[in-house]
Amino acid sequence: MVRAADYAIEAHGLVKKFGDFTAVDGIDLMIEQGSIFGFLGPNGAGKTTTVRMLATLLKPDGGNATVFGYDVSTETKEVRQRISLTGQYASIDEELSGIENLVMIARLMGYARKDARKRAEELLAAFGLTEAAKKQVKNYSGGMRRRLDIAASIVVTPDLLFLDEPTTGLDPRSRNQVWDVVRALTKAGTTVLLTTQYLEEADQLADRIAVINKGKIIAEGTASELKSSVGTGMLHVRLVNSSDREKAETVLSKRLGTVIYESSRDSELRTKVENASVATQALADLEQAGVMVAEFSLGQPSLDEVFLALTAE
Amino acid sequence: MNKRDVIDNQQLHAALTTNKRPTPPNPLNAVFTFAWRALLKVKHQPEQLLDVAALPILFLLMFTYLFGGAIAGSTKEYLQFILPGILVQTVTQITMYTGMELNKDIQKGFFDRQRTLPIWLPSSLIGALLVDSLRYIIASTVMVSFALILGFRPQGGIIGVGLAVALLIIFCFSLSWIWNTLALIMRSEQTLMMTSMMVIFPLTFLSSAFVDPSTMPRFLEGFVKINPISLLVDAVRGLMHGIASGQDVLWVLLSSAILIVIFAPLTMYLYRNKK
């Protein structure tokens, strides 16, 4: 039976406690089918715990959630038939070879012996692992392991794939490969929920992003919505003499009425601006005050700035 | 850069869109797949068979020649008595394989994947236990063959020995579920192994495996007589020498059933609700 559901994931007030510690503290989610949803947050924010509850591996202590209309705590079998999970630690058997792992998963999904082998070979070829097929996985590099892990998750193309920090610890080339796979998956109609600590990753991949901190969602929206929630724009100014910093801060905050963000270099100043004309006035003020400006730019804040602004509160 | 070491987008897209979801496997197929997995581990690491091939011989030689003269007056006579005992001790000591593999799966993350597969959950453990049974058969064959060379003469003949080994396998299969339960509770393989050793070692020594219980002090004799390992040793010894009663066998089957009834559901409860 296929249940009509508008959303791939719908969660209301999810709570998970470990003893006195509340890991997830009332999370609401609406994730559209076929989209890539990014869960962004620092270590220990509650990302993995939330994913494990949605993937039927943990029972929520409060609230409820459905996956394609099926309840994650009471209809686990129906949910499990539609999802796949790639955890933070490779969910494959390191003592077996790559092909043995995939054949085993395919058999457990219900493929006949011959079809399982065919499917395994097809996936190994697609993931560039044909040459390493017969090597034990414990001899794989981090990137190869991650690719095999994702291949194991799509032996049967899932309707919903959970990717828990899929690129943590990977080199840039392997990371780009993982991103390609995620994009290919959505083209094939799969909904992806991905957790990440990297803002760039969320920015690159996700249609919508939820910023999670201390078990709560503190902001949600598209990357550009999140950026504009922090301010319409961000003014960057680089001074010729870093000794002018104090003077420049006073001038800018007087004109703009905003906080100047801390930065790693004294010569660099960043602040929110309402619009371009205020920004030009501010720059004119700087010149009048005798502060020499080496470089300036006006643009959308980066997700990094959004993240820092949101989690600072 | 190696050209074949990259993701092929076209192939990937094809792989993602061409496959249909098969019907989930029946429990038997899932069990066999997990048995195949356990066999592959042996293939990749054949040295793990050392304890089922070398350990039995080592134990047999040690016990026969160390205690034979002192306990029974002659090593040959003692061998008739002790072989079933050592067999039980050796084989019960290798019953924690499946539990240790389960514990490793939990540490490494493969456990999460298993739990999200559309399979009958106990199949992963039962498949591994089937391969464990193979280990028990190998260990028994090695030990009995070697003992025959040393002068072991079972009066029950090949049928008696076969039945004895079969009974031993049934008991060990049931005993394994204790380690499976513990595997889901304990933090590491090492603690699991230590714990099982601490249980198995005294239980096998404080049994009828090596010494006739009637020579023991009264309090000890009482314990030894109700020790399930004693029941097993008595039945195995009786079957090998053709003097076992139906009751001997029944007691072993009963204790096996009790172990299964308690620990298999407990294991699966913990398995489903882990963390």
Of A176, A204, A225, the last residue of a domain is A225
| Predicted local distance difference test score (pLDDT) of residue B3 | 47
Total domain count, chain B: 1
Hey, CA dihedral for B73, B76, B79, B81, is it positive or negative? Answer: negative
- Inside any domain, residue B205: yes
DSSP secondary-structure letter at A260? Answer: E
Q: How far is the C-alpha of B115 from the C-alpha of B273, rounded, in Å?
A: 10
What is the C-alpha to C-alpha distance for residues A205 and A185, in angstroms, rounded to an integer? Answer: 12
Whether A126 and B8 lie within 8 Å, measured CB to CB: yes
Q: Distance between CA B62 and CA B85 in Å, rounded?
A: 13
Q: Do A128 and B6 lie within an 8 Å CB cutoff?
A: yes
Q: Which pLDDT value is given to residue B74?
A: 78
- Assess whether pLDDT exceeds 50 at residue A97: yes
B243 touches A at CB < 8 Å = no
Q: How far is B264 from chain A (nearest CA, A)?
A: 20
Chain B residues lying within 8 Å of A130, measured CB to CB: 4
Q: In a 3-state reduction of DSSP, which class is residue A32?
A: strand
Of B16, B23, B109, Cβ closest to residue A184:
B16
Confidence (pTM): 0.82
Which one-letter amino acid corresponds to residue A115? D
pLDDT at B1: 42
Closest-CA residue of chain B to A173: B6
CA distance A67 to A10: 7
Domain boundary among A198, A225, A252: A225
pLDDT tens, position by position, A160-194: 999 998 888 888 888 888 898 899 888 888 999 99
> Residues B21-46: pLDDT tens digits?
888 899 999 999 999 999 999 999 99
B182 to chain A, any CB pair closer than 8 A? The answer is no
Segment 187-226 of chain A within 8 Å of chain B by CB: 187-188, 190
Mention every residue, 6+ apart, whose C-beta is less than 8 A from residue A152. A86, A91, A92, A101, A102, A105, B113
- Look up residue A185 and give its two tokens: 């998956």
Whole-number pLDDT of residue A114:
94
Beta bridge partners of A270: A236, A261
Q: What pLDDT, on a 0 to 100 scale, did the predictor assign at position B56? A: 85
Tokens of B265: 């559901």
Provide the domain limits for residue A216: 7-225
CB B191 within 8 A of CB B99: no
* A105 contact B CB<8A: yes
Shared domain for A175 and A237, answered yes or no, is: no
Number of other residues whose CB lies within 10 A of the CB of residue A198: 16
Residue found under tokens 């392991």: A145
Shared domain check, A189 and A60: yes
Pair A128, A264 in one domain = no
* Residues of B whose CB is below 8 A from A181: 7, 12
The answer to whether residues A47 and A132 belong to one domain is: yes
Residue A154, chain B, CB below 8 Å: the answer is yes
Q: What is the ipTM of this complex?
A: 0.89
Q: Does B269 touch chain A (CB under 8 A)?
A: no
B17 contacts in A (CB within 8 Å)? Answer: 157, 188
Mean pLDDT across A242-249: 87
The length of chain B in residues reads 275
Task: Pick A258 or B189 by higher pLDDT.
Answer: B189
By three-state DSSP, how is residue A95 classified? coil
| Residue B138 covered by a domain | yes
Name the residue among B9, B112, B117 with its Cβ closest to that of A180. Answer: B9
Residue numbers in A near B25 (CB within 8 A): 107-110
Q: Which two tokens stand for residue A111?
A: 């493929």
Given the structure tokens 């947050």, which residue do they identify? A41
In a domain, A2, yes or no: no
CB atoms within 10 A of CB A95: 20
Task: Count how many domains chain A has.
Answer: 2
User: How many interface pairs between A and B have CB atoms less than 8 angstroms apart?
Assistant: 135
pLDDT of B145-183, one tens digit each?
999 999 999 999 999 999 999 999 999 999 999 999 999
A50, A77: one domain:
yes
In a domain, A301, yes or no: yes
Of B8, B40, B118, Cβ closest to residue A96: B40
- Predicted confidence at residue A65, as pLDDT, reads 95
C-alpha to C-alpha distance for A83 and A161, rounded to whole angstroms: 6
Sheet holding A233-239, edge to edge: A260-261, A268-273, A233-239, A293-299
A183, A281: one domain: no
Does residue B7 lie within any of the structural domains? no
Per-position DSSP letters for A169-194, written without gaps between them? T--HHHHHHHHHHHHHHHHTT-EEEE
Average pLDDT per consecutive 10 residues, chain B (275 residues; last block may be shorter): 62 76 91 97 90 85 81 81 92 92 91 87 95 95 93 93 97 96 93 92 90 87 91 96 92 97 96 84
Side chain identity at residue B192, one-letter code: L
> If you average pLDDT over each of A95-99, A128-132, B1-5, which comes out highest?
A95-99
Q: Which of A104, A111, A127 sits opposite B22 (nearest CB)?
A: A111
Q: Residue B124 and residue B122: Cα distance in Å, rounded?
A: 5
Query: Is residue A272 located within the same domain as residue A202?
Result: no
Would residue B256 count as lying in a domain?
yes
How many C-beta atoms surround the C-beta of residue A276 within 10 A? 12
The CATH number linked to A184 is 3.40.50.300
- Nearest chain B alpha carbon to A122: B15
Average predicted confidence (pLDDT) for chain A: 87
Instruction: Give the model confidence (pLDDT) of A265-293 as tens digits.
Output: 788 888 878 777 888 888 899 889 888 88
Q: B22–A92: do the CB atoms touch at under 8 Å?
A: no
Burial class for A11, CB neighbours closer than 10 Å (0-12, 13-18, 19+): buried
Q: Is A157 on the interface with B (CB under 8 A)?
A: yes
Q: Do residue B108 and residue A156 have CB atoms under 8 angstroms apart?
A: no
Whether A66 and A191 share a structural domain: yes
Residue A264 has pLDDT above 90, yes or no: no
Same domain, A217 and A232: no
Higher pLDDT, B175 or A302: B175
Last residue of a domain, one of A225, A248, A264: A225
Residue B13 covered by a domain: no
Q: Does the distance separating the beta carbons of B115 and A136 come in below 8 Å?
A: no
Residue A188 and residue A295 share a domain: no
Residue A232: pLDDT band (50, 70, 90) is: low
A173 and A98 in one domain? yes
Which one, of B165, B130, B167, lies nearest residue B147 by Cα? B165
CA distance to partner chain B, nearest, from residue A293 (Å)? 45
CA B141 to chain CA centroid, Å, is 15
Q: Determine the angle formed by the axes of helices B157-185 and B97-108, rounding to 10 degrees.
A: 30
Query: Residue A300 maps to which CATH number?
Result: 3.30.70.100
Range of the domain at B264: 26-272
Of A271, A140, A120, whose CA–CA distance to B19 is shortest?
Answer: A120
A60 domain-assigned: yes
DSSP state letters, B5-50: GS--HHHHHHHHHSPPPPPPPPHHHHHHHHHHHHHHHHHH-GGGGH
Residue-by-residue DSSP string for B65-128? HHHIIIIISSHHHHHHHHHHHHHHHHHHTTTTHHHHHHHHHHHHTHHHHHHTSSS-TTHHHHHH
Q: Do B25 and A185 touch (CB under 8 A)?
A: no
Cβ burial, residue A51 (10 Å; 0-12/13-18/19+): buried
CA atoms of A140 and A166, how far apart (whole Å): 16
Residues A32, A158, single domain; the answer is: yes
Q: What is the mean pLDDT of residues A71-100?
A: 89
Rounded-to-integer distance, Cα B97 and Cα B128, Å: 8
**Has residue A211 got a pLDDT over 50?**
yes
